[in-house]
Structure 1
Amino acid sequence: MTHVKVAVFPVAGLGTRFLPATKSVPKEMLPLVDRPLIEYAVDEARDAGIEEFVFISSDGKAALERHFDPVPELEARLQQAGKTGPLNAIRHGCLPRRARSFIRQHAPLGLGHAVGLAASAVGNRPFAVLLPDDVIRAPKGCLSQMVEAHAHTGGHLVAAMEVAPQAVSSYGILDVSSRQGRIARARGLVEKPAPEDAPSRLAVVGRYILDPVVFDRLRVQAPGAGGEVQLTDAITADAGRLPVSGFRFDGERFDCGSVAGFLQANIAYAQDRPDLRAEIDAALHQSTAVPLRSVA
């Protein structure tokens, strides 16, 4: 049994890097191979024992909200046709209505603001935050790994990975005080520092397990980097009264908030599929072996 039962999914972003595709389709509904991006985060949460799913959404995300509903007519047609694979896939993607809630973020005021909107749904419980843009391919789900670690660390626990020095300005960076195994104790977090000012190269990626006291900070948090309410600032503000730790997870992270990262994830996950691997490998080999010729 897990002690973390509720998860927050900030999905209010506009997905501007994927325009024009995201003009009418929420970024979280773009297919990673043949499943929408959001399903990977939801499945990771379910595997970690999450029972309540809180989505911080925005206008124009109706397709995402409907995705978790059953579709009886389609299910009946698939069943009549004996298409059990697709039938099981769409049933697996559903969430009971009692298990999910949607809260609107009416203005893009930052990740900290989005998470703060979940306070009433979470209550006085530790909770997870999953950013669907960060897809983590791992032998055991990243959040499952973190839930086990959090049972020992308590406080705020963030997923972390080492990045190149020139990349630190794109991440929240841990100010590490000590390391033991996969756990890095931190004095706090620094949001998007210049390389010369970064306290380490241990970067925060899109998985968190947070103590509910963070909501007290978020209610009064002033805008930080980029003029937005930063979740990292609220976590750092709590560092003096409860543990703040980074967890170096076992797995490979894909930044599906970028077009390049999204394409890399599609290739990697397609190669994991026995029914697709041979064709994908052959296509990749052919595309690298045969130079492109310009058309005169």
Structure 2
Amino acid sequence: MPSIKPLRKAVFPVAGLGTRFLPATKSMPKEMLTVVDKPLIQYAVEEALEAGIEQIIFVTGRGKGALEDHFDISYELEATMTARGKSLAVIEGIRQRPGSPVYVRQQEPLGLGHAVWCARDIVGDEPFAVLLPDDLMVGRPGCLKQMVGAYQKVGGNVISAEEVPDDQTHRYGIITPGARDGRLTEVAGLVEKPAPGTAPSNLSVIGRYILQPEVMRVLEGQAAGAGGEIQLTDAMAQMIGDQPFHGVTFDGVRYDCGDKAGFVQANIAVALEREDIGPAVRSFATGLLR
């Protein structure tokens, strides 16, 4: 196997309009919606930093100023926090990394594949991660760090996977599985949102990817796929057979925060695990459900 290049860069596609959460997202990016007291985008960035990512690349669109402000310097706030003996450590940490954060515009909503392609000049000729903030991944270690562990062994492309009920496979990209080794599954094929009853497995692709730079060249000429959008899954499928390709079943819990019910579930679950508010939330929920 050729030498495995280190993973240093992560792309965050955050240009979506968030229409499922209107009116909340009319003037606020959906990635800034909070699970308890932290925006979704910060959970994803923290996950990337834990996995050793050095450069954060946001693919943004119109109306995302609040997201950029969140990771920018706020002198008054930071001075106040310092005076109180507190800090914004994670936000300060991302600013201290060379070349981070970088903002790239996706000017048209042409799909996830197109959003990733918009970061091609920053990614260059390096492997890179893609994290979708809508998927809140709760696990120890974090999802991307689990994937990096697999990537350092097998190289190539690594995607995060989750088993879903058979009646939900039409909502996801689905893996055609090859050889399996514990949580590691060889990817023999990918099907984007297969028609009900036609899925090759119930192993779905979820919002974390480690990809080789060759995918950018595939996306360059990629035609629109499911939903009339340029699908990242279609581009990845073309690379199968030319490079190692594996799925890692996430050891943890995924909350689909692009869905209203999933977002509420995430808030409750995360709140219950907090030492400061968990007991009060548990007491309230127990009384509510009687």
- Same-fold call, TM > 0.5? yes
Q: Where does 1:172-187 land on structure 2 (aligned, <5 Å)?
A: 172-187=173-188
> 1:240 offset after TM fit, Å?
2.0
Q: Flag as ranges the 4+ runs of structure 1 deviating above 3 A.
A: none
> 1:78 offset after TM fit, Å?
3.2
CA distance in 2, matches of 1:26, 1:244: 33
DSSP-derived class of the 2:78 partner: helix
Larger Rg: 1
Give 2:132's aligned amino acid: L
The answer to whether the aligner puts 1:96 opposite 2:95 as a matched pair is yes
Give 1:14's aligned amino acid: L
Paired residues of 1:160 and 1:248 also in contact (CA < 8 A) = yes
> 1:93 offset after TM fit, Å?
2.3
Paired residues of 1:184 and 1:247 also in contact (CA < 8 A) = yes
RMSD: 1.2
Indicate the residue corresponding to 1:45 in structure 2: 48
Q: Where does 1:41-190 land on structure 2 (aligned, <5 Å)?
A: 41-80=44-83, 82=84, 84=85, 87-88=86-87, 90-94=88-92, 95-96=94-95, 98-190=99-191
> Which of 23, 27, 51 is the equivalent residue of 2:26?
23
Paired residues of 1:188 and 1:244 also in contact (CA < 8 A) = no
CA distance in 1, matches of 2:82, 2:178: 57
> 1:91 offset after TM fit, Å?
4.0
Indicate the residue corresponding to 1:211 in structure 2: 212
CA distance in 1, matches of 2:122, 2:264: 34
CA distance in 1, matches of 2:78, 2:155: 43
Q: How many residues align?
A: 283
CA distance in 2, matches of 1:244, 1:91: 35
5+ long unaligned stretches in structure 2? none
Give 2:247's aligned amino acid: G
Q: Where does 1:194-205 land on structure 2 (aligned, <5 Å)?
A: 194-205=195-206
Indicate the residue corresponding to 1:231 in structure 2: 232
Q: TM-score, normalised by structure 2?
A: 0.95
> 1:77 offset after TM fit, Å?
2.5
Give the share of equivalent positions with the same residue, in percent.
51
CA distance in 1, matches of 2:181, 2:138: 24
5+ long unaligned stretches in structure 1? 290-296
Give 1:44's aligned amino acid: E
CA distance in 2, matches of 1:205, 1:139: 17
Indicate the residue corresponding to 1:11 in structure 2: 14
- CA offsets, 1:60-86, max 9 Å, x none? 001101110121112223333x2x3xx
Q: TM-score, normalised by structure 1?
A: 0.93
